[in-house]
Structure 1
Amino acid sequence: MRLMSKRLFDRVAVVLYLMMFSINLSSQQLPIPSNIIHKQLDNGFSYYILPNGEPGKIGLYLFSDTGSYVEKREERGVAHFLEHMVFKGSKNFPGNKTADTLESLGLRIGRDYNGSVNDIFTEYRVFIPENNKVTLEKTLRMMNDWCFNLQMDANDLEVEKKVVIEEIKLRSSGGTPFVIGTYLEGHNGLGTAEQINSVTAKDVKDFYKKYYTTDQLALVVHGKVDEKNIIRYIDKLFGELPGTIADNRNKYLDLSKETIVSGEYKNKRADMLVLGFKTRDFPVNTVASFKKDFIYKVFCEMLSNRLSKLPDSDIKKVTANTAVPFTGNLWFNFRLEAKEGASYKTMLDNFNFVIAQARRFGFLQEEIDYYVNDFLKRYKRLATRSEDYLGDVKKHFLKGDVPLSLIDKVKYTQQISNEISPEDFSDLLNHFTEYNKTILFDNTAKAFEDGFDESYILASLRHIEKNAKVMPYKFSEPSSQFAIGSTNDLPEVEIEDKEAGKIKKKVKLGDYLYVLKYDNGIKVVVNNAPKSDTQIKIVSKHGLNNIPQEDRALFKYVVDHFDEKFGVYSEKGARDLRRRLRIYKDVEFGNYNYELSLKGNNNNFSQLIKIFNLIITNNSKPEAGELSESLKRYLKRVTQNKDEYDQYSNYILGKGLEVPALTSQPIDDAIVARFFEYNNMFKRSLKDAYVYVGGELPENVDDLISTYIASIEPVRFNTSVNEKASPLFIEKPTVKEIAWGKTSAKSSFMFSNVKDKPVSFKDKLISEGIAEYGYKRMFQILRKKYGFVYSLGASGYANVSQNLSAVSIRYIVEDKTNVDAAQRAMLEEVLPSMSEGILSEHDALVIKALLEKDYVSSFYETDRVSSDYLKWGLDYGELYTMQDFQKIIRTITEEDIEDQMRRLINPDNYIILLQQK
């Protein structure tokens, strides 16, 4: 036998090495990001600890991989019913102790803790303040009990049936179209009233025992915690759970086992032909599976573009993607919207032509490269943002997809992009139409014609290759006004050089919050908390009350048409610039306040702040004729209805104002000139306002603010109009009925009181605490005792200019036969003790805990810090820190609450706003 030469041996060795390298690369496990802690305990229970939660709060999530789609027909609604029973008591928190404990921590159902059931999972979530070890550990002990130790008392079950049935009445969804033709068709997760009434305690307990086992549950801690201590605590606490491993691996229906064709599919918006090609899903946990998943995405994008650009087709719009209807199932999903006068037969022919063309000539490397690069652009764009892995770890728990950092996603996409070729798509392209299918259409639609049935459709798909006249495809890029561009593609805003304002003082308000005060009186509040929305906003104490009554309605309409052109830009140029930069303007007028905001993203802040400067300093007026025509068009298409509820509420709160209805009227140059002056005063009276700057801001943000905001010269608001309306005085209990276009009825009990001295921020907090206490009383009596209501709400108010405090407590009744009974329960059971100022020491502590939780945990929430927080600063002359809030709340005594509650909850002086048909 001849020996192999050394040179040949070396060549073979290199080839074998490359083959082994390629194999190893493909089987390489994807890495979980280093800042995610993931652990599976010996008993099968999994947990995750995630960084970058919302500042000020920790989110605790208990996930079950059991959703409503595990239910058989006779079980419908049980998963959702079980979710309700979780909060009804457990072994170590029996009876009311679960709700009482959560309440004592300052947590309220719906806002701070809740549960929800999806098709494929159930989620329980609790949001607590950070830096509170006692609250964290107590909440974890309670969630540990939820895993195995629920009580499920038969009496609680009967009361909760009423609540669940009220919820069923509020939701009318018929379920997802993915399950049409299966035993899950029409299942929306709730069941029917009849099914819920037939549920027994045994049904719920059996379901709980079967599906709430350690291997089917996971915990997520999302936020700033002491990682070493919390790992030790979770390991011990959850490691003691019994390690019951259930044989429920295939608990969800396998949709890929049968073909379904249905002409019963209805779409309210358009005639649709849905083609779903069904296979089994797979976890994305290796480089090979990442590549496979990526190829599937590119495959759908390419076919979508080809279908969209097919000449002379009957298809108006195409949506093509891979869909995971629920666990274990994967669809190649094509949703084809019909043109006017189209037929389903022709649409199917159009689809078959595109597939036949691709099979005969293959995909082009040019189009593959385009979509690979398009995905890369998207991932790179996202990689500049703060990462929140909550959704990723949920997918990891539910289907095994490894969470990837955006940087790693870019890296692996680049790694596989150079090796993807037309051959990678051949097997999928040639065989996906052979999969079992779900085909949906509407046999009552205009696009339907006789003969378009199951046999016709399936025969047509079997004989795609009979499209003999297909020609080679010529690629052209998809046309989209929302095409993804890189940061380098962003246009530079043209603006004159500005002389920067001088910072007089910089005051820290929190870890991520500070205020810049300038020599010219401008005050800018800067919020650079992670995941803050990127925006610049003016919050002013001026409102419609500062202009004449006869101008209010028209000015409120036309102000949106001011500042559409600015700087060197025409109206079209300015619109194109904002569109390319994805910058959106919004103007909101209240009776006594004004907000102008520009929203962008963290890639374009330096351009956003320049456009803000150009808009605020803009001196261009719109054309009177264009405004007149715009008004005519608006009045033709819009029916004006006054919001009676808001109108009455405002008058009760001392914030009422006469604003005439908008009517058709000529707009001349004199009106434009007058409104132009109003607009300039609103946006430039910056000494009477705060400017808010928020987002993931650049390091030189202070310099940018000094240059483009502090350089603006403030003006004085001098219309000489400053109308104020006295609060509505009610001499006796009054019911005001208001039309409401819903089948349910909403009752709002409103109480107000005017003091003979200024209303302090402490007074405002006490009013909010009384409202929270009223909410608790309603929950205990209207919902828990009687099951009358599903939805509750409460608010406390203060109007500094009127020395007024107020409370609104409200509820929605779905069954109108309960409206009078609920009102009687309010008057006879909820309100009497409140009107007498009867409050236990525990109740006072709960009220203070609720307030502290709200003001600490919500301190950095964008909607609050960019609006309400600044309005408080204008009202009270001071911007409070988180510590200030805590100090004020801790000075509130039981006697303070009782005294204000006696004054506010007056049984002889209140109004009920009753909204119903």
Structure 2
Amino acid sequence: MKRKILLLALAVTGVFSLYENPAVAQPKQAAAKAAPGEKFPADPDVKIGKLANGLTYYIRRNTEPRNRAVLYMALKAGSLMETDAQQGLAHFTEHMAFNGTKDFPKNELINYLQKAGVKFGADLNAYTGFDQTVYQLPIPTDSAALFKNGFKILANWAGHISMENTDIDEERGIIVEEERQRGKNAQSRMQKEALPVILYGSRYAERIPIGKLDIIQNFKHEEIKNFYKDWYRPNLQAVIAVGDFDVAQVETLIKENFSTLKNPANAKPHQNYDLPDNKEPIVKNITDKEFPYNVALLTIRHRSKPTNTTADLKSGMIITMVNSMLGARIQELKQKGTAPFVEGQASYGPWQGGMIEGLNAMTVVAVTKDASEISKGLAGVMAEAERMAQFGFNQSELEVVKKNMEAGNEKAYKEKDKIASATFVQAYLKNFMSGSPIISPDVRYNLAKKYLAEITLDDVNKAAKKMMAEENVTVLVQAPEKDKDKLPTSAQLLENIRNAGKGLTAYVDNTVKKPLLEKKPTAGKVVKTEKIEGIGVTKLTLSNGVQVYLKPTDFKNDQIMFSSFREGGTSLIDDKDYMATNYAGNIPGDGIGEFENTQLRKILAGTTASASSYIADLYEGFSGGASPKDIEMALQLVYSYATNPRKDPVAFKKNMEDFKVYLQNADDAPDNVYGDTITSVLTSNSLRDRKPTLAELDQINLDRSLDFYKSRFADASGQTFVFVGNFDVAQITPLLETYLGGLPSTNSGSKYVDRGIRPLTGNVTRIVKKGIEDKAQVKLFFYGNYDFAPATNLQLSALSDILEFKVLERLREKESGVYSPNVGIGYEKLPYANYSLTISFSCASANVDKLVNATLDEIEKIKKEGATAVDVEKFKAESKRAMEVSLRENNFWLNYLTGKLKTNEDPLSILKQNERLEKVTPDSVKEAANKYLSNANYFKAVLVPEK
């Protein structure tokens, strides 16, 4: 739970997020040519069909990941279809799908899939939106029976959910707890005030998917059964299947399982709903006692046409260009320290993330220091959007973004045979729901290449101007309640916004003509080469003491990833100097040498290279990646961050001011106070982990931080690099000798210092009283020292996963007291071997003691009786299936090898994973529970409302 002085980065993506909005992806297809305005050619690699009952299906064979398929059952119906008495029942129906069907009574469905290695929540899941309900089932294909049953499961969801009265009643409390867990906070309360404003006059405002709690708790059983009969019908449904299978077999399975489904005799009409225009601007100030920020969000909403033709793809590319260039200008303004806002964003795209088809918007967001600066801050971001509309962009800006898009286009095309099945599924889902075209990689690649050459500066500037056409203006302000009197009036806000475009001058681009490195470093040499047989790794030792581990793979065609570490980090700073030097970890975020970040982005234009340095608790090092063709540039970045860090007093001043903005209201949010309390117990209130005070921020010194940064990278001896991806060892070695072997080295040696940060021991309880909603959060920690070993760690993981099965069954299914409890295990070897098992959930305040006792009761059962054979079977199956996928991922190998090397463990350990897994038994879990859940060190942290 380490906390450092970081930039204040607020991810403001919209007023609310009601359901996941999957991104459109691109499937594979043979090369084809298309002219502007033409419809996209059909994709021969996806089989699209329709049964006699109207059900649509999409089938595609794809081998990434191997022996896996992703199956979806999608429905064109959601909360918009509910009657007044059914509000919330579309979502409730989705829950009931997992509570029993014709062929899988009660919880048999979840148990069956878990025993096959399908994890509930992570794999098996569903979601409900305004106009859609989607069920997702990633499933192995190397078991014929399991794969065949996957389609039976989809068909059961589509037309055979049991809807037993007792099951309905038991689920009511779970949905109430879902609303409590996801809502009952400042953001939720503000959302409830905002929705009637932004959705004014539409059915959307009256049909929020979670529904109304009084209806959920009291509706008659027939209401939900009627909803299911009315709307779960084949002519509104689609089956999507993508994976490593035979297409003809899958089509047969779909026909066998879904052809018998029938539409109701007197089907209710399926309607589409719209959002009416607002002629006059709508302004709304919303405050909350627990909201810690001052945020203004403006949207200019426009009508848009469906994306159906190749010309629409060109228009979409122009929008991407505009967003990129406008975003770069805003970032540059922030870097210069002259921005009248803490954080600013402006972009054009689907309104509210595509919530309602046919609506686009220019969205402008400003986060300010306090409420009195909201008008000025929002006008500051608006000024950049207006400057774009009035004067357009420069050719030099367009060239940078074109280079980047060309690089991305090339990279995507090279990976066209490695596209994950889930990506295709999302494209087909979007096609079914809204008619979005299915575009093959070849068509997309060729058209993008053509349009990148054709699009002119005039095309871009005309589009940018249209984006600012004033229509359907809405302004929402969110702020702490205590600052309510400082907020601008609607008239003041609108006046500042309308004046934002006055007196502007054209943007002057700060072009960069210098290379990142003036000359290459003096190369070192490989002095030793070793092979680690069994996992395909080569170890190089360079003449300056740097060690490099190389694992070539074919998992991706155009990806190389790397990371490094060296012992030391901030552990080498004495406590008395810690605060003064605590900006050292932010140094790489300010740029390199004479190049600030905006200039650095221009230098890197057209490449896929990325890299940076870091300073953590016990280590410092580098991380990054690139396409094979750009790996040299990534290595140049590594060399530059090590040898030429940037001192930027302007960026430093702004970052400190931004963090003060965060600190001044941070304790208004209950979650922050709760988190700080937990950290203080788990670190014995170490100054290295706790949040600094405003006074302590003034102790941070840029020069001292920079000096410490330089000292940590002045000696590369001891740096250990790991590279994973598509490269040839012989070809990459000269680059490694030049840029890694050329790093400065004094062979001074470096070891981290154990600063003795430990959690409080014994039984510890902390009750935090903060907040105004009836919502409690509970975290139970069991922790201590232990003998770190792969076999022990696996037993701990088994204990954690199996305990989660039991806690879920008890607290959610039996008690109906929680929505999604979580059990997690953490263990580390350095600076001392320790483990921590955490159980967490949210619930009603009155139920805390009951649910904590129920949780402890489940622990005692495992201690006395051990795990059930079924639960051990589930754990083994899920572990094996997860490992099968992980072994084909570059990111897994990068993290695995780095972790083993840090702790000086045998990297061949992974070859014995299945052997260790077989030693997990009901008795071994019992032994682990008695040993590691002994209550010797037990910490209960509870957050409850103040009243």
**TM-score class, shorter:** 0.7 to 0.9
1:587 aligns with 2:587: no
The whole-number CA distance in structure 1 between the counterparts of 2:505 and 2:653 is 43
Deviation at 1:779, TM superposition (A): 0.4
Q: CA deviation at 1:352?
A: 13
**Do structure 1's residue 793 and structure 2's residue 822 form an aligned pair?**
yes
Match of 2:336 in 1: none
1:557 to 572, 580, 583: 583
Q: 1:594 & 1:373 partners in 2: Cα distance?
A: 32
Helix, strand or coil at the partner of 2:202: coil
- Return the alpha-carbon distance in structure 2 between the equivalents of residues 331 and 545 of structure 1: 52
Report the equivalent of 2:213. Answer: 193
In structure 2, the partner of 1:3 is none
* Separation in 1, partners of 2:117, 2:792: 19
For residue 671 of structure 1, report the CA deviation from its aligned partner. Answer: 8.9
Cα separation, partners in 2 of 1:163 and 1:328, compared to 1, 3 Å: closer
User: 1-side partners of 2:395 and 2:652: how far apart?
Assistant: 50
- Asked whether the 8 Å contact 1:761–1:876 carries over to 2, the reply is no
Q: Please, which of 437, 447, 472 is the counterpart of residue 402 of structure 1? A: 437
Q: Does 1:204 align with 2:227?
A: no
The alignment partner of 1:46 has SS state of: strand
Structure 2 counterpart of 1:762, from 783, 786, 791: 791
Deviation at 1:612, TM superposition (A): 1.0
Alpha-carbon contact 2:130-2:209 (below 8 Å) kept: yes
Whether contact under 8 Å (2:79, 2:130) holds in the other structure is yes
Quick one: which amino acid aligns to residue 30 of structure 1? F
Corresponding position of 1:215 = 235
CA contact (8 A) 2:683 2:757 kept: no
1:871 corresponds to which residue?
899
| Contact 2:784–2:836 (8 Å) recurs in 1 | no
Are 1:524 and 2:544 matched, yes or no? no
Matched, 1:165 2:199: no
Indicate the residue corresponding to 1:577 in structure 2: 600
Please tell me whether residue 605 in structure 1 is matched to residue 631 in structure 2.
Answer: yes
Q: Structure 1 residues 623, 724: closer, same or farther in 2, change over 3 A?
A: closer
Structure 2 residues not aligned, in runs of 5+:
1-33, 287-292, 329-343, 367-372, 478-483, 499-503, 667-672
Stretch moving more, 258-267 or 114-123: 258-267
Which 10-residue stretch deviates more, 286-295 or 154-163? 286-295
Q: Give how far 1:817 is off.
A: 1.4
* 1:838 equivalenced with 2:873 (yes/no): no
Q: CA deviation at 1:163?
A: 1.8
Indicate whether 1:227 and 2:246 are aligned.
yes
Q: Distance in 1 between matches of 2:378 and 2:703?
A: 55
**Once the 2 structures are TM-superposed, how far is the Cα of residue 633 of structure 1 from its aligned partner?**
6.3
Measured at CA, do residues 59 and 657 of structure 1 come closer, stay the same or move farther in structure 2, by a change above 3 Å?
farther
Pairs within 5 Å for 1:312-461? 319-321=347-349, 323=351, 329-331=357-359, 333-334=361-362, 378=405, 381-385=408-412, 386=415, 388=419, 389-390=423-424, 391-412=426-447, 438-440=472-474, 446=488, 448-449=490-491
What does 1:846-861 correspond to in 2, within 5 Å?
Answer: 846-859=874-887
Name the amino acid aligned to 2:929.
M
Q: Deviations over 1:232-266 (max 9, x none)?
A: 5644544544253896774221446x766563545
- Residues 402 and 452 in structure 2, CA contact (< 8 A), matched pair in contact too: no
Query: Partners in 2 of 1:865 and 1:884 — Cα distance?
Result: 16
Q: Distance in 2 between matches of 1:718 and 1:420?
A: 55
Larger of the two Rg values belongs to structure: 1
Change over 3 Å in CA distance of 1:868–1:394 after alignment to 2: same
Match of 2:529 in 1: 504
* Contact residue 130 and residue 207 of structure 2 kept, 8 A: no
Aligned 1:453-472 pairs, distance under 5 A: none
2:261: which partner in 1? Answer: 242
Partner of 1:31: 41
Counterpart of 2:804 in 1: which secondary structure? helix
Per-residue CA deviation, residues 702-744 of structure 1 (Å, 9 max, x unaligned), is: 553454335657766746764374976855xx24216486654
Match of 1:597, SS state, is strand
Determine which of 893, 899, 921 is the counterpart of 1:893.
Answer: 921
Check the 8 A contact 1:837/1:901 in 2, yes or no: no
- Distance (Å, rounded) in 1 between the aligned partners of 2:640 and 2:365: 42
Bigger shift: 879-888 or 368-377? Answer: 368-377
Distance 1:900 1:341 in 2: 59
Alignment partner, residue 97 of structure 1: 108
Partners of 1:888 and 1:152 in 2: CA distance: 42
In the alignment, is the contact (CA less than 8 A) between 1:548 and 1:721 conserved in 2?
A: no
Q: What are the Cα deviations for residues 60-94 of structure 1, in whole angstroms up to 9, with x where unaligned? A: 33322323333344332112111212211211111
Structure 1 residue identity aligned to 2:176: I
Q: Is the 2:794–2:917 Cα contact (8 Å) retained in structure 1?
A: yes
1:377-425, Cα deviation, whole Å (9 max, x unpaired):
7366334223554332222121222221344235346778999999999
Determine if contact 1:524/1:693 at 8 Å carries over to the other structure.
yes
Residues 717 and 753 (structure 1 numbering): CA distance in 2 closer, same or farther, change over 3 Å? Answer: farther
Aligned to 1:313: none
TM-superposed CA distance for 1:666, in Å, is 8.6
Contact persistence 2:541–2:547 (CA under 8 A): yes
Equivalent position SS for 2:754: coil
TM-score by length of 2: 0.72
Q: 1:765 Cα shift?
A: 0.5
Q: Which residue of 1 aligns with 2:806?
A: 777
Q: Note the C-alpha offset of 1:838.
A: 2.2
2:941 counterpart of 1:914: yes
Instruction: Name the SS for the 1:196 alignment partner.
Output: helix
Q: 1:763 to 1:329 in 2, by over 3 A?
A: closer
Q: Is the 8 A contact 1:264 1:441 kept in 2?
A: yes
Separation in 2, partners of 1:159, 1:849? 29
| Alignment match of 2:735 (pick from 704, 718, 733) | 704
* Contact 1:33/1:404 (8 A) holds in 2: yes
Q: Measure, in 1, the Cα distance between the counterparts of 2:588 and 2:376.
A: 43
1:581-622 deviation per Cα after TM superposition (whole angstroms, max 9, x unaligned): 2745352523x4555434667774320112213334x2x688
Distance 2:593 2:256 in 1: 65
SS at match of 2:77: coil
List alignment gaps of at least 5 residues for structure 1.
Answer: 1-23, 306-315, 359-363, 454-459, 461-473
Q: Distance in 2 between matches of 1:789 and 1:117?
A: 20
Q: Classify the secondary structure of the residue corresponding to 1:184.
A: helix
1:677 to 694, 704, 711: 711
* DSSP-derived class of the 1:47 partner: strand
TM superposition shift of 1:630: 9.2
Q: Are the structure 2 counterparts of residues 318 and 296 from structure 1 closer, same or farther at C-alpha, using a change threshold of 3 Å? A: closer
For 2:466 and 2:118, how far apart are their aligned partners in 1? 54
Q: Conserved in 2, the CA contact under 8 Å of 1:834 and 1:905?
A: no
Aligned alpha-carbon RMSD (Å): 5.8
Aligned residue for 1:470?
none
Q: Does the residue aligned with 1:749 lie in a helix, a strand or coil?
A: strand
Partners of 1:418 and 1:802 lie apart in 2 by 55
Residue by residue over 1:604-651, the C-alpha shift from the partner in whole angstroms, topping out at 9 and shown as x without a partner, is 4320112213334x2x68889999989986886664999442454467
Q: In 2, Cα distance between the equivalents of 1:670 and 1:66?
A: 60
Q: For residue 824 of structure 1, what is the aligned residue in structure 2? A: 853
Q: Which moved more, 1:594-603 or 1:371-380?
A: 371-380
Are the counterparts in 1 of residues 611 and 634 from structure 2 also a CA contact under 8 Å?
Answer: no
Distance in 1, Cα, partners of 2:45 & 2:634: 32
- Is the 1:783–1:789 Cα contact (8 Å) retained in structure 2? yes
